[in-house]
């Protein structure tokens, strides 16, 4: 199966609203600088430099590979310096500062990054000193350094928040597993009590009634006495069987169902949404449990590898099957993976569980955009093949309607 991270890595070719706003602001600065340039020839030159500055930002942020993005940023900074010197009354400083803000994200951590930021800061201060004619212009370099430093701090903070969000998803999954284990343990304790007390008492009662019936028959008792004894003994035997069945049900515990997806998605510590369409049908217990576990694993994977991305869970019911799709949109622009790694067997285990329940699952890159998509199909069971409890759970789901449930909406700042 395709590696998850290889498909949901940062999508550098997807333009966001923030990118469009930045590009528009850059074009406004370029236009103002062109108007401030003296003479038609310089206006043309400054206009070309402005376009090169815009192109450099696009290359560095969205087009070039991460290891080559620095070339685009350097182009933006160089074009900004040239615009500043050719049109001192314009806004050529803006491309330089924009490049200084992006530069630390394109250079690996270490002395090289510090040297690159220092060169840009000193060059910016010298340029401002030249066009202003004052030595105090050198202080402008501090501003460029400050912007670059804030970029580094923001990236580090965002990485820590993403890691915290992924860890929170792991903790939530662990909490649910422990709660289920505690519930199973408590049900087992109750089952043992029922087996040791109720079932044994009913079995003893059945033996005693059969003994009384045998004595009554030997003494020649009338049917008016023996028939009630026979009925009482039969009721006691039935009670023993029912008690044993109840003990077995308590020990196994109720499986999860599709109806349990609503609290699961609602408790996801990120930006998630559940959408249910169609009229809910009845699934076999093992099928509903497999669907629940598959969605749970898909949500956890999204928190690990696409931290901060909105996650959509779509459940579509048909007459013959239910289709469930869990899809994220990849890492947001400029974000890295959380660093939280799974066991590597989650998708394989999901496929096995769904297959054993009679369904199919497909996981891979989303066909209509960036991100990862898990799609599964599970046949709807015949009504006679599903216990009444499972049918009741299906009936409690919104029948014949479409509803949406939102998650926590990224309360960790996703």
Domain boundary among 121, 142, 165: 165
Q: 14 with 152, same domain?
A: yes
Q: Are strands 403-406 and 272-277 parallel, antiparallel or unpaired?
A: antiparallel
How many angstroms separate the most distant Cα atoms in the chain? 131
Q: 155 with 183, same domain?
A: no
| pLDDT at residue 322, as a whole number | 93
Question: Is 414 within the bounds of a domain?
Answer: no
| pLDDT at residue 403, as a whole number | 52
Q: 206 with 135, same domain?
A: no
| pLDDT at residue 244, as a whole number | 67
Question: Is 412 within the bounds of a domain?
Answer: no
Contacts of 10 by beta carbon, 8 Å cutoff, 6+ apart: 66, 330, 331, 333, 334, 335, 336
Question: Is 346 within the bounds of a domain?
Answer: yes
Q: 292 with 312, same domain?
A: yes
Distances from the Cα of 95 to the Cα of 28, 82, 290, 360, angstroms: 11, 10, 53, 52
| pLDDT at residue 152, as a whole number | 82
Q: Are strands 360-365 and 372-379 parallel, antiparallel or unpaired?
A: antiparallel
Q: 17 with 161, same domain?
A: yes
| pLDDT at residue 180, as a whole number | 66
Q: 320 with 233, same domain?
A: no
Contacts of 364 by beta carbon, 8 Å cutoff, 6+ apart: 1, 2, 7, 372, 373
Tokens of 148: 């670059």
Question: Is 170 within the bounds of a domain?
Answer: no
Question: Is 240 within the bounds of a domain?
Answer: yes
Q: 23 with 113, same domain?
A: yes
Domain boundary among 102, 134, 165: 165
Please name the residue that has the structure tokens 């997806």: 261
Size of the chain in residues: 414
Domain boundary among 138, 165, 192: 165
Q: 277 with 349, same domain?
A: yes
Here the CATH number for the domain that contains residue 340 is 3.30.565.10
Give the distance, in angstroms, between the CA of residue 174 and the centroid of all CA atoms in the same chain.
16
Could you give the number of structural domains in the chain?
3
Query: How far apart are alpha carbons 47 and 33 in whole angstroms?
Result: 8
Whether 238 contacts 265, CB under 8 Å: no
Query: How far apart are alpha carbons 77 and 55 in whole angstroms?
Result: 11
Three-state SS for 315? strand
Q: Is the whole-model pTM more than 0.85?
A: no
Q: 326 with 230, same domain?
A: no
Q: 297 with 320, same domain?
A: yes
Domain range spanning residue 135? 4-165
| pLDDT at residue 266, as a whole number | 85
Q: 45 with 161, same domain?
A: yes
Q: 367 with 267, same domain?
A: yes
Can you list the residues of the chain whose pLDDT is less than 70?
1-19, 176-177, 180-181, 183-184, 187-188, 191, 193-200, 202, 240, 243-254, 333-346, 382-414
């Amino acid at each position: 199966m395709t590696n998850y991270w290889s498909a949901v890595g940062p999508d550098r070719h997807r333009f966001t609203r923030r990118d469009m706003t930045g590009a528009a602001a850059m074009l406004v600065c370029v236009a103002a600088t062109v108007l401030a340039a003296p003479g038609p020839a310089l206006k043309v030159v400054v206009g070309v430099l402005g376009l090169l500055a815009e192109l450099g930002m696009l290359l560095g942020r969205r087009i070039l590979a991460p290891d080559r993005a620095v070339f685009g940023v350097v182009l933006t900074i160089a074009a900004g310096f040239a615009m500043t010197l050719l049109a001192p009354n314009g806004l050529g400083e803006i491309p330089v500062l924009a490049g200084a803000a992006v530069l630390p994200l394109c250079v690996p951590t270490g002395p090289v990054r510090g040297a690159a930021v220092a060169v840009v800061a000193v060059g910016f201060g010298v340029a401002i000193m030249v066009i202003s004619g004052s030595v105090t212009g050198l202080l402008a370099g501090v501003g460029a350094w400050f912007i670059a430093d804030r970029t580094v701090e923001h990236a580090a903070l965002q990485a820590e928040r993403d890691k915290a969000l992924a860890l929170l998803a792991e903790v939530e999954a662990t909490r649910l597993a422990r709660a289920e284990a505690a519930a199973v343990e408590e049900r087992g304790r109750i089952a043992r009590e029922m087996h040791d007390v109720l079932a044994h008492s009913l079995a003893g009662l059945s033996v005693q009634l059969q003994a009384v019936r045998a004595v009554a028959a030997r003494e020649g008792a009338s049917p008016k006495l023996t028939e009630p004894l026979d009925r009482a003994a039969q009721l006691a035997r039935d009670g023993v069987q029912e008690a044993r069945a109840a003990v077995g049900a308590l020990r196994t515990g109720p499986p999860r169902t599709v109806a349990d997806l609503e609290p699961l998605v609602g408790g996801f510590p990120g930006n998630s949404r559940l959408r249910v369409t169609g009229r809910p049908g009845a699934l076999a217990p093992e099928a509903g449990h497999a669907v629940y576990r598959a969605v749970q694993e898909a949500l956890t994977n999204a928190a690990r590898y696409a931290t901060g991305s909105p996650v959509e869970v779509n459940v579509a019911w048909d007459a013959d099957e239910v289709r469930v799709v869990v899809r994220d949109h990849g890492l947001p622009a400029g974000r890295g993976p959380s660093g939280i790694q799974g066991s590597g067997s989650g998708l394989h285990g999901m496929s096995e569980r769904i297959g054993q329940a009679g369904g199919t699952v497909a996981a891979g890159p989303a066909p209509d955009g960036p991100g990862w998509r898990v799609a599964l199909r599970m046949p709807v069971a015949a009504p006679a093949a599903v216990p009444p409890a499972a049918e009741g759970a299906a009936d409690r789901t919104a029948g014949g309607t479409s509803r949406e449930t939102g998650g926590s909406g990224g309360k960790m700042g996703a």
